[in-house]
Structure 1
Amino acid sequence: MVNIKFLVRDVDAETEQTIYVTARFGRNDKLMYATPLKVEPLFWDGNKQRVKNSKYCVNKDEINGALTSIESKVNLFIAEAATKGEPVTKNALRNLLDTHYGKKIAASCDFHSFFEEFIRLCDTRVSPRRGGQTIDYKTKREYARTYYYIQEYEKNRGIRLEFRNITQSFFNDFVAFLQGLGLSTNTIWHKTVSLKAVMKAANEQELTDNTKFQLFKNVSEESQAIALSEAELDLLAGFDFSTSPRLERTRDLFLVGCWTGLRFSDFTRIREENIKDGMLTIQQQKTNDFVTIPLHSVFIHIWEKYAGKLPANISNQKFNDNLKDMCKEAGINERVMKSITKGGKKQTTIYEKWELVSSHTARRSFATNLYKSGFPSISIMSITGHKTEGSFLKYIKVSKEEHAKMLMTHWQKNGGLLKVM
């Protein structure tokens, strides 16, 4: 009888360790299978073979759920083999685990069946970057949209694609097709990135030896998203929304994001246990990294206003809709020019600022305002998670005029500006 166990090899390590699935097939034959799941040994219970129920391990439920899922699948596999009188071999168990974790896709040998199965398995395929969590719904949705456009392309061209057809000439024609539909450069970029991910997976599973996709050039353009200044944030903080509880709650939650720099998925789940000694510590959902941020006076005011329970029971879409209503009512109406490439042609449109506000504006405003205040970029990046200063400088929204004023202020402080003409 084959039984599986979960273990962490180095229980004394201070960094995250891989969780292994192990099983014995006789005295000298053992499977040691590395899952994509990782945990700090401090939180691992070797006896229970699960992550401890600690409030400091934010993703414990996701990891334990993933372990229970694979345990159930393996036990079912073993039971079905027993009813058939078939032995469970090490290779059979490894293949099952490979399929479960998305390393191998069963019964898929052509481009279309592989693409469809690749999308379906997003619900169980684990992302190493997300600390044992499955692929998020936005990524799965992007794969599905890409496959939709692949099928539309085939209808338009009167063809059916196979792995061997994914060449540079196809890629160029596919991009031209998407441009003809009026899609923006960045939307097309998402589709080409998704296609390359599918082809990479097919190569890893040896379903095709076509590697021409590796030469495809994904083209994107810099985001022209906005940030709100500290003056605009002060305007929002002081605006009377008492006649609209919906907008008041949205305003307060938005300001929490603006003064913590957290993503919507993080600032909407701040709890009392995240607050200690004037600091906010939370494990970011997207990157799985911990971040510590000092509490701003605006945050403290809002925290006390709601007695430590922020108004977070709202979807991202609804929050974005409310934000636009909120900023419009408060008079955040500076005219902003935004250019975007659609259908291969640059289009410029003038908006009022409230039309462009979204939940991510909070995080971008946090980084931009800190940078403008002279706070070191490297320290801001430790909170926002940007890996290079180049990517960080593209992220913040500081105009050429604002850069010039920052330089002027620097010279004035250091005696380098003797006279203003």
Structure 2
Amino acid sequence: MKQNTFSIIFLIRKTRLTKRGEAPIQMRITANGRFIELNTQRKIEPANWNQKKERATGKTPTHQEINRYLEWLRTRAYEIQKELFDQNGYAEPVLIKEYLQGKHNTCKMFFEVFEEHNEQMSLLIGKEYNEITLRRYRLCLRYFKEMLSEETKVEDIPIKNVTGELVRKFEAFLKIEKNCAQNTVIRYMKCMKKITNLALANGWIITNPFASVKFKEKKVIRDFLTINELNMLKDKEFEIPRLEIVRDVFLFCCFTGLAFIDVYNLKSEHIIEDAKGRKWIHKQRQKTDVEFFVPLLELPLALIEKYKDHALCKQSGKVLPVFANQKMNSYIKEIADFCGIKKHLTMHIARYTFATTVTLANNIKLENVSKMLGHTTTRMTEHYAHVLNESLANDMDKLSGIISQ
């Protein structure tokens, strides 16, 4: 942001006279057309104030002290403005005011701020955040502590010491020491960036450590189940009850497109019936608060009926007995092994399967799939169509190789 104008003006407020007839002296800080006022904690009789010179005209020691103090404030404001502009490229009036008021003298510590953020987030689980997001932030903090401990042996650092160089060191640490893939690194970096943005917003730092740090996500083509694999999963009989439950929940998501957190919180009140007797899921996505409608096909309807008297469902009021996400993902891998499915299955693969194999591959319009998935634009849904095209192209390449042999 280019700072073209900056000015300091002192003025009195004649409409706020004290019982002694004195007006408060205000300091107006203006930068690029935006201004803020600061109470100087000094008062003067209007007759002893020269607005043109912005000074007290009296000769008393009190008036001389006022002039010295106002000159010091002006000089200090310009010093702060220069320091902020040199370091950050801009100097907001509100930030200059806060520095003048001494609100930035106390040094905030990075881990302290991060932990306070995580504590606040934990109180909003199920409302604004989910456990997976909280776990990511906690892991980010833990890894950063590990890196810092190895390098400096300190327990915490001032948040102002989190520089672009340190951000890059953390990136390398995640890739080398923690063996994180590029997209995983970016997720952790986004966690860290949120904390530094919080510090910027509160004026605890004046330089954005991510200003020159750019990250590019690696394009990933995710797996999804084919119709044959879906049938294998559906027809498989399990003697272990927990695996049968997990398989059923996974299939329910494959035929509704629900993300884990949405099926976990799915209740009977989210099942509605239209004028023609068709049943739908009507809910808001936990992740985005976007409303979505999904018609219930025969299989998910049968699964709802199957578990309506299950003890966990009766106890919680939920439609299906869903385990914690970590357990679900662990068990679904077991199920894949039992079924001979070689793909790396997770609960989110069910959502991809709904978008590709169940809907787009069966000529359901992109805009309708987008609405069922709770996407705000079809651009988000186009990714699934691209994935489907990539898969088809890969299959055709394999076929071409077989034919040419």
Interval containing the TM-score (normalised by the shorter chain): 0.5 to 0.7
Decide whether aligned partners of structure 1 residues 212 and 329 sit closer, same or farther in structure 2, where only a CA change above 3 A counts: closer
- Consecutive unaligned residues in structure 1, runs of 5 or more: 1-103, 333-351, 407-421
Taking only aligned residues, the RMSD between alpha carbons, in angstroms, comes to 3.0
| Amino acid paired to 2:388 | V
Count of residue pairs the alignment pairs up: 275
Compare CA radii of gyration and give the structure with the larger one: 2
- Equivalent residue for 2:159? 163
Partner of 1:51: none
More helix, by proportion: 2
Deviation at 1:186, TM superposition (A): 1.9
User: In structure 1, what is the equivalent of residue 193 of structure 2?
Assistant: 196
221-230 vs 359-368, which moves further: 221-230
- The alpha-carbon distance between structure 1 residues 382 and 205, as it changes in their structure 2 partners (threshold 3 A), is same
Deviation at 1:219, TM superposition (A): 3.1
* CA distance in 2: counterparts of 1:401 and 1:314, whole angstroms: 31
Instruction: Report the Cα distance in structure 1 between the residues aligned to 2:302 and 2:217, rounded to whole angstroms.
Output: 40
1:288 and 2:296 correspond: no
Q: Is the 8 A contact 1:222 1:394 kept in 2?
A: no
Q: Whole-Å Cα distance in 1 between the matches of residues 136 and 389 of structure 2?
A: 32
In the other structure, the counterpart of 2:114 is 115
Q: Does 1:365 align with 2:353?
A: yes
Amino acid in the other structure paired with 1:123? S
Are the equivalent residues in 2 in contact too, given 1:108–1:117 (CA < 8 A)? Answer: no
Aligned pair in 2 of structure 1 residues 134, 388: CA closer, same or farther (>3 Å)? closer
Q: Which amino acid aligns with 1:363?
A: R
Q: Which residue of the partner structure matches residue 331 of structure 1?
A: 340
- Letter in structure 2 aligned against 1:116: E
Shift in Å, 1:237:
1.8
Matching residue within 202, 207, 214 for 2:204 = 207
Distance 1:113 1:198, change over 3 A: same
Q: Which runs of 5+ in 2 are unaligned?
A: 1-102, 314-318, 397-405
8 Å CA contact 2:160, 2:204 repeated in 1: no
8 Å CA contact 1:196, 1:214 repeated in 2: no
| 1:368 CA drift (Å) | 1.0
CA distance in 2, matches of 1:313, 1:404: 35
Q: Give the Cα–Cα distance (whole angstroms) in 2 for the partners of residues 304 and 120 of structure 1.
A: 39
Q: Deviations over 1:232-283 (max 9, x none)?
A: 2122222333x33332222222111111111122223433333323222123
Deviations 1:48-102 (A, max 9, x none): xxxxxxxxxxxxxxxxxxxxxxxxxxxxxxxxxxxxxxxxxxxxxxxxxxxxxxx
Deviations along 1:179-228, whole A, 9 cap, x unmatched?
22122212211221111100100111111111242332133223343111
Q: What letter is aligned with 2:248?
A: D
Name the CA distance, whole Å, in 2 between partners of 1:304 and 1:164.
57
After superposition, the Cα gap between the structure-2 partners of 1:274 and 1:122, relative to the gap in structure 1 and judged at 3 Å, is closer
In the alignment, the residues of structure 2 paired with residue 219 and residue 282 of structure 1 have an alpha-carbon distance, to the nearest angstrom, of 33
Distance in structure 2 (CA, Å) of the matches to 1:307 and 1:315: 19
Q: 2:388 is paired with a residue of what secondary structure? A: coil
Percent identity of equivalent pairs? 26
The alignment's TM-score, normalised by the length of structure 2, stands at: 0.60
Correspondence list, 1:8-407, <5 A: 109-124=108-123, 133-158=127-152, 161-181=157-177, 182-241=179-238, 243-275=239-271, 276-277=273-274, 278=278, 279-307=280-308, 310-332=319-341, 352-353=342-343, 356-369=344-357, 370-395=359-384, 397-400=387-390, 402=392
Normalising to structure 1: TM-score of the pair? 0.58
